[in-house]
Amino acid sequence: MQLPVLVIKLGSAVISDSQGNIDEKIIRKLAAEVASLSKAYHIVLVSSGAVGSGKSFFKKYKGSLVERKAAAAVGNPILIRLYDRYCSKHGITVAQALCERHHFSNRAQFLQLKETFHEFWRNDILPVVNENDLVSNVELKFSDNDELATLLALGFDADTLVICTSVGGFLDGEKKVIPVVSTIDQSVMGYISNEKSGLGLGGMLSKMTFTRLATSMGIRVSITGLAGKEPLTRSLNGLQGTTFKPQRSNLKARQKWLASGSITLGELQLDEGAEKALHARKSLLSVGVKQLQGAFSAGEVVQLRNTQETIIGVAKVKLGAADLQQQLQTRNVLAAHADDIVLFD
Ligand SMILES: N[C@@H](CCC(=O)OP(=O)(O)O)C(=O)O
């Protein structure tokens, strides 16, 4: 049965106690709720917390990148065992999915991931996703799991993305949760504080950046806490946390996947003529590319920047970086077909 997809993202701070250890009471409560929601949704659970769970096994842990990678590798199985212990009480088996950035910038790889997740859902198996920190170096890292959850929501054309946070929702200037946000404009962004929990990577700025991307691609987003009974269901019903309304819904699944490559391995800087042509739904020719950055291959998704330095969209390129660079100087060739371009506005 084809159910709507629900992506739930759990930050490290929201599933940990004040000492930074995973709070089993929360996992027990979540497992019961996820089991009941899985009758109505195909669920993807994106869970942080691996670094926090693994770091105490390292003698002189200071939080360097290599220590975080190693701690995540120790912590991921600890996390998974916990999810498995409590989900199995409700007849749900869990599967671990460790993702890397190129799983999203390459359509063929993403389709494989998608096929595997559908196999999970057919068998009542819950995919629990985290970044494959062990092999993610600085350039290839997701900025945090808010990004990973958003890319999954876009790629799966999810109905809703629920981002669970320790502050309970999106707060206004008086630190009260705003129940509904119709459009994320400057006044809304002005409420963002720079405070972050000591445990995780992403703060509210990151959550709002990705919420803006997801809502602009037609996905409803809820930012919520996990206090009280059935917090996920309550947030889906608009009774808890902040609901951000979707902005447009006319994009096809493939276009949403393209948009999910918005933070990609490469970038093309376009001239004004090319920008105009794209807005007129034309293809991108190499003559309109002023310069390029990054080591991308043909068929991967890159972001498009205009002369004002604004990211205007993404495109699946026909040529890899080296070939395109050569063509810029010699010939005018197709850099990306109009069907493979998604503009953000
Ligand atoms: N992959 C890392 C998560 C990093 C991260 O994004 O953390 P958070 O900001 O708490 O969602 C871990 O499992 O600890």
- Is the residue at 254 inside a domain? no
For residues 112 and 195, membership in a common domain is answered with yes
For residues 202 and 317, membership in a common domain is answered with no
- What is the predicted ipTM? 0.97
- Is the residue at 115 inside a domain? yes
- Is the residue at 305 inside a domain? yes
CATH classification at residue 283 = 2.30.130.10
Does the C-beta of 147 come closer than 6 Å to ligand 1?
Answer: no
Domain end marker among 186, 215, 244: 244
- Is the residue at 106 inside a domain? yes
pLDDT per residue rounded down to tens, the chain (345 residues): 789 999 999 999 999 987 778 999 999 999 999 999 999 999 999 999 999 999 999 999 999 989 999 999 999 999 999 999 999 999 999 999 999 887 877 778 888 999 999 999 999 999 999 999 888 776 556 768 998 999 899 889 899 999 999 889 999 989 999 999 999 888 888 888 766 555 555 578 878 878 988 898 889 999 999 999 999 999 999 999 999 999 866 677 777 777 765 556 688 999 999 999 999 999 999 999 999 988 888 887 888 899 988 878 888 899 999 999 988 866 789 999 998 888 876
Provide the pLDDT for residue 202. Answer: 59
Does the C-beta of 47 come closer than 6 Å to ligand 1?
Answer: no
For residues 84 and 191, membership in a common domain is answered with yes
Domain ranges, residue 324: 264-343
Does the C-beta of 165 come closer than 6 Å to ligand 1?
Answer: no
Q: Specify the residue with its C-alpha closest to ligand 1, atom 2.
A: 48
DSSP string, 205-244: HHHHHHHHHHHHTT-EEEEE---SSSHHHHHHTTSSSEEE
- Is the residue at 76 inside a domain? yes
For residues 218 and 155, membership in a common domain is answered with yes
- Is the residue at 41 inside a domain? yes
What is the chain's length? 345
CA atoms within 13 A on the CB side of 235: 32
CATH classification at residue 225 = 3.40.1160.10
For residues 188 and 296, membership in a common domain is answered with no
Domain end marker among 244, 276, 308: 244
- Is the residue at 253 inside a domain? no
Q: Do residues 53 and 22 lie in contact, with contact meaning Cβ atoms separated by under 8 Å? A: yes
Q: In the chain, how many domains are there?
A: 2
Distance CA 112, CA 38 (A): 22
In 3-state terms, what secondary structure has residue 54?
helix
For residues 326 and 196, membership in a common domain is answered with no
Provide the pLDDT for residue 236. Answer: 98
Task: Write the single-letter amino acid at 323.
Answer: D
Q: Do residues 254 and 286 lie in contact, with contact meaning Cβ atoms separated by under 8 Å? A: no
- Is the residue at 249 inside a domain? no
Domain end marker among 188, 211, 244: 244
CA of 236 to the centre of ligand 1 (A): 23
Alpha helices by DSSP H, listed for the chain, are 24-37, 50-54, 65-88, 102-105, 107-122, 145-155, 186-189, 204-216, 231-236, 253-260, 272-279, 321-330
Tell me the backbone φ, ψ of residue 84, rounded to 5 degrees: -65, -45
Atom of ligand 1 nearest to the CA of 79: 13
Provide the pLDDT for residue 249. Answer: 63
For residues 225 and 280, membership in a common domain is answered with no
CA of 145 to the centre of ligand 1 (A): 6
Distance CA 330, CA 333 (A): 9
Does the C-beta of 48 come closer than 6 Å to ligand 1?
Answer: yes
For residues 223 and 270, membership in a common domain is answered with no
For residues 268 and 213, membership in a common domain is answered with no
From the list 179, 263, 256, the residue with the least C-alpha distance to 222 is 179
Residues 6+ apart with CB under 8 A from 27: 15, 82, 83, 85, 86
From the list 122, 105, 103, the residue with the least C-alpha distance to 113 is 103
For residues 26 and 156, membership in a common domain is answered with yes
For residues 213 and 279, membership in a common domain is answered with no
Does the C-beta of 274 come closer than 6 Å to ligand 1?
Answer: no
For residues 142 and 284, membership in a common domain is answered with no
